[in-house]
Structure formats: C-alpha cells, structure tokens
Amino acid sequence: MGNRYVEMGLSAPVNVTWEMTFACNLNCVHCLSDSGKKRAGELTTRECVRVIDDLSSSRVFQLNIGGGEPFTRPDFLDLMEYAHQKEIVTCISTNATLIDEEAARRLDHRLVYLQVSLDGATAESNDAIRGKGSYNKALKALELLRKRNMAVSINTVLTRFNFVELDQLTRLAASLGAKSRVSRLRPSGRGKDSWSRLNVSKEEMVEFSDWLNRNLDVSTGDSFFSVTTEERRALGLNMCGACKLTCCVSPLGEVFPCAFLQEPEFRAGKVPDDSLGALWDQSSVFQSFRLLEIKSCGSCPRFDLCHGGCPAVAYHTQRRLGTPDPGCLASCVSVKSDWTNADV
Amino acid sequence: MHNYAGSRSFRLAEGIQLRREKFGLLFYNYRGPRIYFVPSGNLIGDNFFDGRKTIEQLVADIRREHDLPGKELRLRLESLVRLLEYKGLINGQPLC
C-alpha cells in the first residue's frame, strides 16, 4: 500500500477532476454541482488549452472529466483530442444522451474511458432520478460504444431506490460490455436537497458493504472507503485522496480539493492564471487539508481501512471538517442490535 | 549463463507513464491498477527506462555518485526490474 509515499507529498496530482461546464441537458435530482445552464465566466477554449498545457507540464497522468454534461461544450471533442496528444488519459463522466455515431468515432481512442451514468436498471427507476427518456438515450449510446469495443463503465450513484437493483445493473452492464461502478451520493449541489430522501439507511449501507465484498469486480473509485472491508483493501487506497492524489478544477477554473468541496473556503486559486503545479505545492488550503486528521477516529479498529472516511460528507452534514464520516461502517454496525459490541 | 543485468535494457510498456517523486518512482498504468510506487529514492532516474542502459551500466552510474556495494546493488536492481517486468510495467529487450 502506498499511503506512506502519498503522505510524503507527490509533485503533482495523479489525476485531476475537471468539471468543464455547468451546462447540462438533464436535471438530475442529486446533481453534485447543481448543473443546468452554462454560467458566466466558464473557461473559454483557449483557456482550456492553457489548462491542458499546464497539467501536461506538471505531468498529471489522468483527467476525470465531468460537469454538467461535457458534451454540451461545442469544443469538447477538440479539447479531448488535444489532451490525448499530450498523452493525458481522459476518464469522461457523461449522461451519454448526446453521444452519436460521430462522437463515438472521435472518442474511440486508447486513452479514453467513459463512465456512463445510469441510476436505475429500468427506465422507470432511472428516469425518476435523471429525467424522462434519459435511460433509453443512454442505452442507445452504450450500444454504439459497445460496437466499437470502447472502455466503458456504467456508474450508478447509490440511493435507497436503486439499492435493490444493483445485481440487475451489474448484469445490464455486462450485457453491454461495460464494467460496473457505484459511487456515493453526497450532499453537495442538488444532493443537499435530495439527501434525506435518497441516501441509504445505515442498515442498507451494511448490506451494501456485504454486496461489494461479493462483487470485487465492481469499482467504487474512492467513494466508499468508509465502508471498505478487508476483502477490498487491495483494490485501492484507504483514505481520502483530496490534495494528496487529486484535486478538482471547476468550470470557472477555480481549484478545489475535490468535486464535493467546491465551497469558497476551500478555493485554492484559479487556473490558467495560476499554475496548477504552484497551487498544488503552495496553496494554504491544500497544505492545511493535507494535515487534516479525524482525531476521534484514531482509536477505531477500522481506522487503517478508512482514515475517517470522506471529509466532504462530514463537512456537508456537520458543517466542519475533522469530524467522522457519518456513513462509517463502524457506526453503521453499531445500530444493528445483533452486531452490537461485535469485534468489527 | 544468461547475463540478465548486462545484456538487457528496459522500456516502459504500452500505456505506462512514469514520474520522479521524492520517494523514488511513480508508475501509472492506464489499464489499472492505476499507480505503483517504487521507493528507490534518487538512485534511479526515469530515463533508465528509455531502453538505452543495462542494469550493470546503471549500477556503475550509481556507484559513481554513491558509496554502495556493487554486488548487492545489482542484485536489488535485478530483483526490482524483474518485478516491474512481471507486473507489466516495463519490457526488457536485448541491448544490441
């Protein structure tokens, strides 16, 4: 495990999440960035090219592209092609509803991964979250991508409604030649308003953790280290990677620790006017975030598996950093009477 | 007997990128698992993997800068390079 090397401080992020626009053709109830319309001040094409140049010179390996819906930008495919010329891997999160034959052809590149969002295994359950017609359009695009044998995963934000459809979603992904990925609902953007209605209960979180153990080929990014068990330890880092492995660039070029902490108090600077490499090294926001310790978790037997969980969820639910992730598995387990006092 | 340390040079495998860090070398594999840490300090430059040097040449370079026992260094580097090959991060080739 590379935690101690990461703690020594990397010279640049391994990957950068870049939300390229606030514009989106859908209106998902849990959107982390409250996307909809393009906003004033979004980076121009020329500025985006400068950002890519900056990331390339810092030797950032991977861009995790999101939004909004990145395909609403008329220059989007040109910018991806420019990133690929610089040998930067692009992992593109999309609702896929705007991917046609031509877009699929231009994206068919060894450095492209696509994460297509589906929040239900049926049109009924997906469209209740993502809007009418979005399921069928996404499936049409997934079929185009499958024909090209492109690297695709279906990403599902876990909710109490799709929780029961996870097996069905995994089978659907496999039938489309895609991998499965589950990410965590976070109370940022419109997720703040839908949090109490959509977020899984503690009992469901425990069940979900068991499900992940049985489905080791399902990826989670760093979403669920709060419920990571020993079986999944080898699959990834066991701590928040914000400011250590990754950071986030907003559609306006503002740089934050992660996509879920785009609050003024966490703003480190603005690219391309500031260099990302300089912000990574010198920003006081990043430096203090790296020192963040969830002291109350220090004595927990699960500490080595999660290091306190996701600071963003803790911040949005308790309005301060340095507190434990409320979705922590140890705290979930304590609510199950038959597991009370269990040696977790 | 085949002289592994003296006859082969090494290149990054397809899809692998490499960066120097304080602790040593950071490999990135776009096919995943994504990152791999090699705590080599400042002993190995990333240019070692451009296919021009053997392990024996690297040992000689290192010993010009550092007072380290050559035999042990060669054995450790051989072991590291074999592991990186096994993990698919680099490819060895005969040095012509």
Per-residue pLDDT of chain A (344 residues), as tens digits, is 568 899 889 999 999 999 999 999 999 999 988 999 999 999 999 999 999 999 999 999 999 999 999 999 999 999 999 999 999 999 999 999 999 999 999 999 999 999 999 999 999 999 999 999 999 999 999 999 999 999 999 999 999 999 999 999 999 999 999 999 999 998 888 998 999 999 998 889 889 988 988 998 998 876 677 677 777 766 666 788 899 999 999 999 999 999 989 999 999 999 999 999 999 999 999 999 999 888 788 888 878 878 888 888 888 888 888 888 887 777 665 544 333 333 33
Picking from B40, B21, B32, B94, the residue whose alpha carbon sits closest to that of residue A9 is B21
Q: Which residues on chain A are in Cβ contact (under 8 Å) with B26?
A: 5, 10, 14
Q: How far is the C-alpha of A239 from the C-alpha of A216, rounded, in Å?
A: 18
Place of tokens 């990331």: A55
* Amino acid identity for residue B23 in this structure: F
Distance between CA atoms of A267 and A289, rounded to whole angstroms? 12
Q: Is the pLDDT assigned to residue B2 strictly greater than 70?
A: no
Q: Kindly state whether A133 is in contact with chain B, defined as any CB-CB distance less than 8 angstroms.
A: no
Percent residues over pLDDT 70 in chain B? 96
B72: Cα within 13 Å, side-chain hemisphere: 3
Decide: helix, strand or coil at residue A246. Answer: strand
Phi/psi region, residue A308 (left: phi>0; alpha: psi -120 to 50; beta: rest), is left
Cβ density class A284-302: b for 16+ within 10 Å, e for less: ebbeebeebebeebeebeb
| Element housing A200 (H / E) | none
Of the candidates B20, B30, B37, which has its C-beta nearest A5's C-beta? B37
Closest CA to A82 of A105, A103, A100, A109: A109
**CA–CA separation, B71 and B87 (whole Å):** 24
Please give the helix or strand (H or E) that residue B57 lies within, else none. Answer: helix B55-65
Q: What is the pLDDT of residue A21?
A: 98
Compute the nearest-CA separation of B3 from chain A (Å). 32
Distance CA A243, CA B37 (A): 18
Query: Rounded distance, CA B21 to CA B81, Å?
Result: 18
A182 half-sphere exposure, CB direction, 13 A CA radius: 26
Is the minimum CB–CB distance between B26 and chain A shorter than 8 Å?
yes
Distance between CA atoms of residues B19 and A91, nearest Å? 20
Distance from CA of A6 to the nearest CA of B (A): 9
Contact A61 B22 (CB under 8 A): no
A244 or B34, which is more confident?
A244
Of the residues A89, A90, A235, the best mutation for testing chain B's interface (the one with the most B CB atoms within 10 Å of its CB) is A89
Closest-CA residue of A relative to B20 is A11
CA neighbor of A230 nearest in space, from A244, A210, A245: A210
Asked whether the beta carbons of A163 and A8 are under 8 A apart, the reply is: no
Tell me the chain A residues in contact with residue B36 when contact means C-beta distances shorter than 8 Å: 2
Cα dihedral B74, B80, B82, B84 sign: negative
> Where do runs of H (alpha helix) occur along A189-271?
191-198, 202-214
Q: Could B22 and A9 be called an inter-chain contact, meaning their C-beta atoms sit closer than 8 Å?
A: yes
Residue A61's closest CA among A107, A22, A17, A15?
A15
| Mutation choice for B interface testing from A1, A8, A217, A232 by most B CBs within 10 A | A8
Residue keyed to tokens 């359009």: A137
Judged against a pLDDT cut of 70, whether residue B96 lies above it is answered with no
Position B6 scores a pLDDT of 81
Provide, as residue numbers in chain A, all residues whose Cβ is less than 8 Å from the Cβ of B19: 11-12, 59, 61
Distance CA A174, CA A246 (A): 29
Answer yes or no: do A62 and B21 touch at CB < 8 A: no
B23 lies within 8 A of chain A by CB: yes
- pLDDT of A343 reads 38
In chain B, which residues have their Cβ closer than 8 Å to the Cβ of A59?
A: 17, 19
Task: Name the residue among A130, A147, A149 with its Cα closest to residue A138.
Answer: A130
CB contacts < 8 A, A to B, total 41
- Burial letters for A214-253: b for 16+ Cβ neighbours within 10 Å, e otherwise? eeeebbbbbbbbbbbeeebeebbbbbbbbbbbbbbbbbbb
| Dist. CA A306–CA A298, nearest whole Å | 11
Q: Tell whether B17 lies on the interface with A, counting CB pairs under 8 A.
A: yes
Q: Do A62 and B35 touch (CB under 8 A)?
A: no
User: Among candidates A23, A22, A26, which has minimal Cα distance to A133?
Assistant: A26
Per-residue pLDDT at A223: 67
Smallest Cβ distance to A11: which of B17, B19, B34?
A: B19
The residue in chain A having the minimum alpha-carbon distance to the alpha carbon of residue B17 is: A61
User: How far is A17 from A255, CA to CA, in rounded Å?
Assistant: 10
**pTM for this predicted structure:** 0.91
Q: Do A12 and B19 touch (CB under 8 A)?
A: yes
Alpha helices for chain A (secondary structure H): 3-7, 45-57, 76-85, 101-107, 123-130, 134-147, 166-175, 191-198, 202-214, 276-282, 284-290, 303-306, 311-318, 329-335
